[in-house]
Chain A
Amino acid sequence: MLAYIIRRLLVAVPTILLLIVACFFLMHFAPGGPFTSERPLPPAVLANIEARYGLDQPLWKQLWDYLYNIVVHFDFGPSFKFKDRDVNDIIAQGFPISLTYGSLSFLFATTIGVGLGIAAAIKHNSWIDYFAVGLGIAAQALPNFIMGPILILTFTLWLGWLPGGGWNGGQWPYLIMPVIALATSYVGSIARITRSSMLEVLNSNFIRTARAKGLPTRTVIWRHALKPTLLPVVSYLGPVFVYVLTGSVFVDIYFSTGGLGQAYVGSALSRDYAVLLGVTILYGALTVIVNLLTDLAYAWFDPKIRY
């Protein structure tokens, strides 16, 4: 097991390196640069700026310096757009915000989604099933960029219950709408996957055996059916977890939360190279770690899997 983990982490290093190199070149080949603007800068001014950030160096040298600074100084470079902050500052400020509303959304979506899915499967073809399936489909059809405006109109403008945006250190009134907006569509998907998986498990031989020997339904569901049911759900949840943890650009835009999602998309649009790379590396590293955790979770859910 330990050897497996170490092996996986060692493979992660070249993976992330490859990610950096690919991202670095794609970024530099995109038309326009960080200082392309409606008012083109005079050549002398542009030359000074490029010299300051080392952008006048050949690409391979820039890449080398970038990697060197990360490894030796843990410095992910400056922001070209926000002059008084560097990439470390931007991530340190945005990531905790994304992490907070992201993990709450994840908890919310998983709890409700799995609950709905199980209820629907147990009461197969009853009104509960239809209700849960209907709710799941409706939720899935409401991505966060639709939920955002709906929530703000309802709770801020009409009811006046919640502030329309901002973060304020993550106080709960500011958290409710971002969490619901981000979670809704996942609730639908999780419920659907849980339901079909549970139905399949409930029809399998070992459940029939458990029932035949007279175990009460509750024990059959919780002791025997739940774990195998969750296996496909877990493989879906892994990527979802990374996605919500790193924040959502729509949530950040609609609720002015100040998370990393907005910083990421904004950096791509403004060609803020170092910010874009820094956040990409963070996302890449998180993906590697969460994938590893997902794989380890398989072993717990399915005893047949051994590493």
Chain B
Amino acid sequence: MNKYIRTSLAGLLTSTMITGAAFAAGTHPTTGEALADDQTFTYRILDEHSSVDPQVVEDVSGAEIVRDLFEGLMNQDEDGNLVPGVATGFTTNDAKDVYTFTLRDNAKWSNGDPVTAGDFVFAWKRAVDPALSSPYAWYMELMSIENASEIIAGEKPVDDLAVKAIDDHTLEVKLSAPLSYFPQMTTHATTFPAPQKVIEEFGDAWTKPGNIVSNGAYVLTEHLPQERSVRERNEMYWDNDNTIIEKVVALVINDENVALTRYLAGELDRTEVPAGQFPRLQKEHPEEAISFPRLCNYYYTFNLSEGGPEAFKDPNVRQALSLAVDRKIITENIMAGGQPQAYTFAPEATAGFTVPDVEMASMSQAERDELAKELLAEAGYGADNPLSFEMVYNTSEAHKKVAVALSQMWKQKLGVNAELANMEWKVFLEERGNQNFDLARGAWCGDYNEASTFLDLLQSDSGYNDGKYNNAKVDELLASAKTADDAAPLYTEVERIIAQETPVIPIYHYAGVYMMDSDVGNWPVNNVEQNWYSKNLYKTAE
């Protein structure tokens, strides 16, 4: 966390516990700060959300809304640690393949009905039901719930899903394989409860304001597609007394520069900072421009499949290209938003992950360039036999800048001809997925805070392994990490192998780069997954 930049967030800086503080109207119960009269939090979202149905939602901005509207078994705190949600706790057997959750008895739906274990059973069965065909059905497979795969494939009836309501407040789940991080996975939207009565009454229209009934701290009160969605305090929520933000407004603003202008005009409390503008904004608005590490990586992947370029089959070539990338120029001059330079595939911010001593990281750029030249010459490429390939990325201003910088570095330092090709998003995915590329851009955000969410991409049979990297040792290490008590050394070993073999060129790890109104308190900058809950925020008086 030493590279962690935080320029603001009054809330956290002043969050000293005041024991026995009176819950006076207008002051924060723990920090004692004066609260603003208007507790409305307004933020920008890039695009219209896909749905607010927990079992259907598939995009980040939709999941943010769903996390406010619904509450799952467990929640995350400001640091990403697991805290009770609807469940007050859980127990597991020694084999870690049966989990039993105890549900609180005061949890209610917004129509006053109690939240029961049956609501979770209904929701989870719904998630795997081929009739609903949820795009996130695979998440239930990932959770290893017994029979999930067979139900999705249509081989078993939905009722065979191994999730059971022992009574109204006890939920039991049987897994097909031991999974130590199963409870962490219940903070994901797909696992949130669903109101059976309401869904049966309204069908697909149950998520519309007026119809929707939810069990989270907020209810959806307004939705104007492509314009805004509004959620307001749910009076029935079990912890309603401790909720401070009254109303949350998500405004759809497709253009990030327009969003920034509207932020500066005071229409928004939070927006993203466009690439390259952070230094200027930090100078002009030091209280508001913030940057913190996130659980995502940015890399280029070599095509190592049969049909891939012959040159890339030589690890020396791959390593030479990786060495010659001056990551400092990319993070400081192009992105300029406090992004950490990347020499490993998994970000340093990942929980329980120890970054191995990668040789490259400790070298100076001049040393790297020198080594790169040697390696490339060794591989037989030089002025008389220059290395040429095509690098593809999906159309975007920021990706283009990075690609141009990379190709220039390779040209100047190594005499390599990297031809740039950009593609529209879906075409890009199709081409990359079919190994129709030499070198392709990639980025990945963790589904959960554990190194395997990244490293599994390099497993030979992973559906996400577009470069078709294949190393038996890596596969073996990743397989044993699934059941190991302490997987950290295994992940470190995997990274060490990757650093040597260079199937990918890690470039940088993401940072959350925001303009955040200094009135907004308690934004979870330490939650690298950025799973935030409006109920934990507050706005201080000016």
Taking a contact as CB atoms under 8 Å apart, the answer to whether A81 and B50 are in contact is yes
Binds B, one of A161-169, A200-208, A229-237, A296-304: A161-169
CB neighbours (8 Å) of A148 from chain B are 258
Taking a contact as CB atoms under 8 Å apart, the answer to whether B133 and A258 are in contact is no
CB neighbours (8 Å) of A157 from chain B are 261, 264-265
Query: Is the C-beta of A57 less than 8 angstroms from some C-beta in chain B?
Result: no
Size of A's binding interface in residues, CB under 8 A? 51
B318 to chain A, nearest CB (A): 23
CB neighbours (8 Å) of A35 from chain B are 135
Cβ-defined partner of B130 (8 Å) among A38, A51, A153: A51
Q: What are the interface flags for A59-71 relative to B under an 8 Å C-beta threshold, 1 for contact and 0 otherwise?
A: 0000000000000
B532 to chain A, nearest CB (A): 22
A46 to chain B, nearest CB (A): 9
CA distance A33 to B252 in the complex (A): 24
- Of chain B, the residue at the smallest CB distance from A89 is B225
Residue among A39, A52, A90, A271 with the most chain B CB within 10 A? A39
CA distance A257 to B252 in the complex (A): 9
B199 to chain A, nearest CB (A): 12
Query: Is the C-beta of B315 less than 8 angstroms from some C-beta in chain A?
Result: no
CB neighbours (8 Å) of A258 from chain B are 224-227, 252
Binds A, one of B1-9, B233-241, B425-433: B425-433
Q: What are the interface flags for B415-430 relative to A under an 8 Å C-beta threshold, 1 for contact and 0 otherwise?
A: 0000000001111011
A13 to chain B, nearest CB (A): 31
Cβ-defined partner of B255 (8 Å) among A38, A81, A83, A254: A254
Query: Is the C-beta of B149 less than 8 angstroms from some C-beta in chain A?
Result: yes
Residue among A40, A41, A44, A166 with the most chain B CB within 10 A? A44
Size of B's binding interface in residues, CB under 8 A? 52
- Of chain A, the residue at the smallest CB distance from B141 is A42
CA distance A17 to B207 in the complex (A): 35
Taking a contact as CB atoms under 8 Å apart, the answer to whether B265 and A156 are in contact is yes
CA distance A29 to B281 in the complex (A): 44
CA distance A40 to B466 in the complex (A): 10
Interface of A is mostly: loop
- Of chain A, the residue at the smallest CB distance from B255 is A253
Taking a contact as CB atoms under 8 Å apart, the answer to whether B135 and A49 are in contact is yes
Query: Is the C-beta of A28 less than 8 angstroms from some C-beta in chain B?
Result: no
Answer whether A252 and B261 are a contact pair too, CB < 8 Å, given A48-B130, A48-B133, A163-B267.
no
Query: Is the C-beta of A125 less than 8 angstroms from some C-beta in chain B?
Result: no
Cβ-defined partner of A83 (8 Å) among B56, B258, B424, B464: B56
Taking a contact as CB atoms under 8 Å apart, the answer to whether B50 and A82 are in contact is yes
Taking a contact as CB atoms under 8 Å apart, the answer to whether A85 and B225 are in contact is yes
CA distance A64 to B85 in the complex (A): 49
Q: What are the interface flags for B104-142 relative to A under an 8 Å C-beta threshold, 1 for contact and 0 otherwise?
A: 000000000000000000000000001101110110010
Jot down 5 A-B pairs with beta carbons below 8 A, ordered by A: A40-B433, A51-B133, A84-B51, A93-B226, A262-B226
Residue among A37, A51, A164, A259 with the most chain B CB within 10 A? A164
CB neighbours (8 Å) of A156 from chain B are 261-262, 265, 267
CB neighbours (8 Å) of B52 from chain A are 84
Query: Is the C-beta of B257 less than 8 angstroms from some C-beta in chain A?
Result: yes
Cβ-defined partner of A37 (8 Å) among B131, B267, B429, B443: B429
Taking a contact as CB atoms under 8 Å apart, the answer to whether B226 and A256 are in contact is yes
- Of chain B, the residue at the smallest CB distance from A85 is B225
CA distance A164 to B207 in the complex (A): 29
Q: What are the interface flags for B195-226 relative to A under an 8 Å C-beta threshold, 1 for contact and 0 otherwise?
A: 00000000011011000000000000000111
Cβ-defined partner of B133 (8 Å) among A30, A42, A45, A263: A45
A128 to chain B, nearest CB (A): 36
Residue among B133, B154, B207 with the most chain A CB within 10 A? B133
